[in-house]
Amino acid sequence: MSKNYDNWERLVRAVLRREGDRELALFHSGDLSSIASSSRSSTSDISFSHEEWLVDHSEWKAMLPPHQQIVARRSALRHKHRRIKEEWEMDSVALDDIINRLLEVQSRPGKQVKLSESEIRQLCVQSRQIFLQQPNLLELEAPIKICGDIHALIDDKLLCIHGGLSPDLVGLDQIRNLQRPTHVPDYGLLCDLLWSDPSKDVQGWGMNDRGISYIFGADKVSEFLLKHDLDLICRAHQVVEDGYEFFADRQMVTIFSAPNYCGEFENAGAIMSLDENLMCSFQILEPVREKPKFGFGSTTTTKEPGRPQTKTKSFLGGRIG
């Protein structure tokens, strides 16, 4: 065994044995002298760099005991992930600039804001980190605006989910305890929360035309609300013409906030506002509608300018609860 390897093995074993945050941080940063000092090892004979170790470490890693191979592999992966994160992190000034550019046009419907591909990618990365830091089930209080896919329990009376109910959903702690990140399975609780749909044509549970998850009847909505002392379920997932649509005698509402979905529909979008007294109203985002344009024997379509517009509708059911 070479003298270089002896030093690296002693160094790595010291770090792995302690498993302290300080040693791991120094190890990742390449501050070999600090690690050596803390582990009473000498690095004077080490003739290659920390970066070279990361690139070609298979020889010494294979000589470590299996459990230390796993720890070493995880250590290298953490270093790689941290480097990628640093490359994608957006500073607060750049983020504020994007937000301000978007806010500048909020009073001018139809006005576009140009964002570069890099800015969009960075926004996605930043948003993902925020989502991962939050619990699966946000517990919020009114007043609040609800658009599309907010997954929350509001004032212990309104449950927001993406898709719908599940025969496997017994209690809300099951949602809180879902592991993330994860792959969506083809069946089970997580699959149903994402893909199930309400249906007026069924009682209980039925097969979903999507080819995945279930459809459920109004009776299942009533049962769920009664069991968990809730008043309303708010869900998204389905395009609805007016942007919102009630189900089960106003015990469930679908909120779809994207007008002209995918550029293929003429649906409106909607945002539901819930005030401090749990009174509901809807802000309607009108779609851009096409109208015929005639000329010289041909028919084409143009889009009406200056849209989408917004208007507000009151929730006729009044207060929730």
230 and 159 in a single domain? The answer is yes
- Please report, for the domain that includes residue 193, its CATH number: 3.60.21.10
Looking at residue 206, what is its pLDDT? 97
Q: Answer whether residue 87 shows pLDDT above 60.
A: no
Among 148-152, 247-251, 308-312, which range has the highest average pLDDT? Answer: 247-251
Task: Return the structure tokens found at 295.
Answer: 């000329």
61 and 102 in a single domain? The answer is no
Q: Answer whether residue 144 shows pLDDT above 80.
A: yes
Looking at residue 27, what is its pLDDT? 45
Looking at residue 44, what is its pLDDT? 36
153 and 261 in a single domain? The answer is yes
Cβ 302 vs Cβ 291: under 8 Å: yes
48 and 188 in a single domain? The answer is no
Among 56-65, 250-259, 294-303, which range has the highest average pLDDT? Answer: 250-259
**DSSP conformation class of 195:** H
80 and 177 in a single domain? The answer is no
Looking at residue 306, what is its pLDDT? 40
180 and 302 in a single domain? The answer is yes
Tens-place pLDDT, residues 303-318: 444 444 445 544 434 4
Residue 303 host element (H or E): strand 298-303
Q: Is the pTM of this model over 0.75?
A: no
Q: Residue 97's domain spans which residues?
A: 92-128
31 and 148 in a single domain? The answer is no
116 and 194 in a single domain? The answer is no
Domain termination residue (choose one: 80, 102, 128): 128
Count of domains forming the chain: 3
19 and 157 in a single domain? The answer is no
d(CA 187, CA 212): 7
Task: Return the structure tokens found at 88.
Answer: 């994608």
Q: State how far the alpha carbon of 282 is from the alpha carbons of 105, 142, 196, 244, in Å.
A: 21, 15, 24, 8
153 and 100 in a single domain? The answer is no
229 and 190 in a single domain? The answer is yes
Q: Which tops the pLDDT comparison, 298 or 170?
A: 170
Q: Which of 13-17, 87-91, 208-212, 238-242 has the lowest mean pLDDT?
A: 13-17
Helices (H), the chain: 3-18, 21-29, 32-38, 50-55, 58-63, 66-88, 92-103, 117-133, 173-176, 189-195, 218-228
d(CA 186, CA 195): 10
151 and 176 in a single domain? The answer is yes
Q: What is the separation of C-alpha 175 from the centre of its chain, rounded to a whole number of angstroms?
A: 14
